[in-house]
Each structure stands twice: as structure tokens, then as C-alpha cells.
Amino acid sequence: MLINGARLPSEDRLMDVGVRNGLIVYVEPSGSDIAPAAKTVENGHGGVLLPGLVEPHIHLEKAYLLSRMEREAASLQEAIAMTADMKHSFTRSDMKERSLAVIREAVRNGVTHMRCHAEVDPILGLTAFEAALELKEQVRHALDLQIVVFPQEGISKSPGTTELMEEALRLGGDVVGGITYQDADLDGHLDCVFGLAEKYGKPLDFHADFFDNPEQVAIVGIAERTIASGMQGLVSAGHVTSLGSMPYEQAAAVAELIGKAGVHIMSLPATDLFINGRGDREKPRRGLTPVRMLMEKGVNVVIGVNNVRNPFTPFGKADPLETAWLLAVTAYMGGESDAKQLIRMLTDGAARALGLTDYGLGLGKTADMVLFGETSERDILLNKPESRTVWKRGVKVADSRTVSNLIGV
Ligand SMILES: [Zn+2]
């Protein structure tokens, strides 16, 4: 297959991209006389071709709960409690159905890789995890799914959770999850999850410092442990919003430590903006992690949708461009170079956070790609177009013209 005349982020001329056996085997300027013969030719029409979008932080089994809620949550603790209540009635098929609805939408929108947090706790046991594991196989032709073994209800707070996490890791969990604000003893929590990461040889992904209270800085402990255990580059943390409420000098010092530890920071604006800042009667804070400061300190900052239509986030759809647009507005990222940066966060940055090694539009990489009609990253971000053509391992899985048939999940 050959895509003719597309714009690649790294090139200022139109390029042709050739794919064979699921891999990118040809990348040359359009019109080159060495262009190989192809069975299928797709006209790029000068639109931007990106590597597949990466959704680095999402909760599948608790998506689409609005119709089951009697009211909106007024705080993080209330969102956790409301969801824990609803979890008692989750069944495996119910979780799979709602998860699949999210995945279908994500694939249509150009997502080829996703990291989900599957809840492992005494309420659900391993059912959410097992449902995710089944989905991972079911959708693998369209999407690579990483599963975080996620102790949403806390570890010391919910006895039996460590054993469930171990079982999930033995069954094929990809990443050890942590949630620093659910357990009173931070050191004990970190001992447990860093211990599991070492024992099973897995990366770590935290929910951390989801507050607008500058006293909450579990991220410092996470960064220090990351360095001490030699896990630089293998640890991520979502939210980290307390950092945005800290005095500048103090926040800058923490950002520097995060950079040194190579911890990837996942900004989750749809949830963070909705939950944080509510206690401020005047001058309410936005409650985001300080994206620009972190990037200035060399931190890999990426963007996740986190939740889709539940007590934590009664908005949203599985479209990374919508989440990036929201961050652009609220983190003052309105320029052309900001748009390029935001697109890099959704692609190369998120791929780095997820440890993907065969990612990108280079020769020999897996042909996971999304083609837009827009001719610049800025237009992609501003238009959030419906029209996208998506390939997974060189096979077209979504096209604005014939979407549902092609996805097949
Ligand atoms: Zn989350």
C-alpha cells in the first residue's frame, strides 16, 4: 500500500509512505522515480499523516455511567464513593459493553494504542481486569491495549488488594498501578507497588496528588523512589495537580526532580478542571498540573482523557484531539508551535510514556497511522475533524466513509 502526497510532521515537503506486511518500508518525497509499485494507492491529498494517536490514561469499565447517576459529584471523594457504590452492580458483560463503546470511538478517532486502568479491589475482584484482558485480545487487530492493575480503592485501606494485584500481574497485567491519595501511609503504599514492579518486571503508573492542596506532594516520594530503584523512564503519574497550586520556586524544584527521575506526567484536564478549584469562593484555581513549567524542566508531559461520562468527568469522548484542545485553551497553548507540541504529546510523547518501541513513521516501524484532510497540526487541533482514516499494522480499520464495518470490534 502506498499513501501518496501526505504531509509528515517532520518534513516540509509532501511525502509518499509505503507499507508492506504491516511495516513502513518506504518514506520518500512525492514524485520520486524510485517509488515502488503498490497494490493499493491512497491519495493523501496533501493532508497531515501522523503515527496513530496514543491514549495514555483511560478508565474503560467505569465509562458511560451518567444514566445511572442521580446527581453530579461535588468532590473527588464523592465521585469515588458514588462510583464504588455503582461498581457493586457491574457485571462482566456490562463492563465489556461500555468499554467496547469507548474503544470503538477511540479507534474511529485515530487511536491505535491505549493504556487503561482496570480496577482490582475487593468489590470487583478480578472481573474488571479479566474483562479488559478479554477485550485486549478481541480488539488487537485495531488497537494495542495496555492494562494497568489499578487499586482504585486503596491498598492498605482495602485488605486483600495486594493479593488480587499479584494475581492480575501473573495473569498478564502490563503495568503496576498506584493511587497515593487513597492510603494514609504513603511509604507503605510505595513499598508495595515498587516491590510489585520489581518482582514482576513491570513499569509503574500512578494516580497522584489529585488536589489543589499544595501540601500534597506524593510525587516527590515517587520521583525519589524512581531514582533509587533505577526505574527512570518506566514510571508515570497522572493528575499531579497539587503542583499547580504551589509557590513558583517550590514547584520548579519539584519539577526539576521529576525531570531528573524521568517520570512521565499525564495531564487529565477534563477531570482536573471539573473536580479541582471548587473550594475557592474567589479566584478559583484551574487545578491543572503546571504543563509549561514541567516541559521547561525537560519532563515528558502527555495528555489523557481519563474518564468518559461518569461521576469524575460527566463530559468527554474518546478523542485525544478534544482533550488536547481543552488543554490548549486552559494551559494557554494557543500558538502554532503549541499546536505542534500538543500533537507531539498525543503521539511521540505518549508513545514514550507507554514504552512503545516500534512507533512512528520511520522505516521499519509498525504502520499504525492516521490521515487527516487538514494540512497543518494547528488546523487538526482547531477543527477536531470527524474525517480521519486509520490504519493498524497497515490495515485500514476506520475511515470516515465506512466506519463501523471496517472497525469490526
Ligand atoms: Zn485515572
- Per-domain boundaries in the chain: 2-51+359-407, 53-353
Q: What is the pLDDT along the chain (409 residues), one digit of tens a residue?
A: 999 999 999 899 999 999 999 999 999 999 888 878 899 999 999 999 999 999 999 999 999 999 999 999 999 899 999 999 999 999 999 999 999 999 999 999 999 999 999 999 999 999 999 999 999 999 999 999 999 999 999 999 999 999 999 999 999 999 999 999 999 999 999 999 999 999 999 999 999 999 998 998 999 999 999 999 999 999 999 999 999 999 999 999 999 999 999 999 999 999 999 999 999 999 999 999 999 999 999 999 999 999 999 999 999 899 999 999 999 999 999 999 999 999 999 999 999 999 999 999 999 999 999 999 999 999 999 999 999 999 999 999 999 754 455 555 5
Residue whose C-alpha cell reads 531514582 in the numeric block: 227
Cα(131) to centroid of ligand 1, in Å?
18
Cα(182) to centroid of ligand 1, in Å?
13
Q: Comparing C-alpha atoms, which of 319, 335, 364, 284 is closest to residue 102?
A: 319
* CA 329, 333, 336, 342 torsion-angle sign: negative
Burial 119-130 (b: 16+ CB within 10 A, else e): bbbebbebbbbb
Cα(106) to centroid of ligand 1, in Å?
17
Written as nine digits, the cell of 148 is 494497568
Cα(346) to centroid of ligand 1, in Å?
17
Cα(34) to centroid of ligand 1, in Å?
48
- Res 32: pLDDT: 84
- Res 1: pLDDT: 96
Cα(240) to centroid of ligand 1, in Å?
11
Q: What CATH class has 53-353?
A: alpha beta
Cα(303) to centroid of ligand 1, in Å?
11
Cα(386) to centroid of ligand 1, in Å?
26
Cα(83) to centroid of ligand 1, in Å?
13
Cα(142) to centroid of ligand 1, in Å?
23
CA distance 12 to 340: 13
> What number of other Cβ atoms are within 10 A of residue 240's Cβ?
34
Burial 136-172 (b: 16+ CB within 10 A, else e): bebbeebbbbbbbbbbbbbbeebeebbebbbebbeee
Cα(11) to centroid of ligand 1, in Å?
35
Cα(58) to centroid of ligand 1, in Å?
6
Q: Comparing C-alpha atoms, which of 381, 302, 406 is closest to residue 50?
A: 381
Cα(239) to centroid of ligand 1, in Å?
8
Burial 321-338 (b: 16+ CB within 10 A, else e): bbbbbbbbebbebeeeeb
Residue 13 dihedral angles phi and psi, to the nearest 5°: -115, 165
Cα(54) to centroid of ligand 1, in Å?
15
Q: Is 403 exposed, middle or buried (CB count within 10 Å of its CB: 0-12, 13-18, 19+)?
A: middle
CA distance 75 to 235: 27
Cα(62) to centroid of ligand 1, in Å?
10
- Res 407: pLDDT: 59
Written as nine digits, the cell of 36 is 515502488
Cα(227) to centroid of ligand 1, in Å?
24
Measured between alpha carbons, how far apart are the two ends of the chain, in Å? 23
Return the CATH fold of 2-51+359-407.
Urease, subunit C; domain 1 (2.30.40)
Q: Which amino acid is present at 143?
A: L
Same fold, 2-51+359-407 and 53-353: no
Cα(42) to centroid of ligand 1, in Å?
38
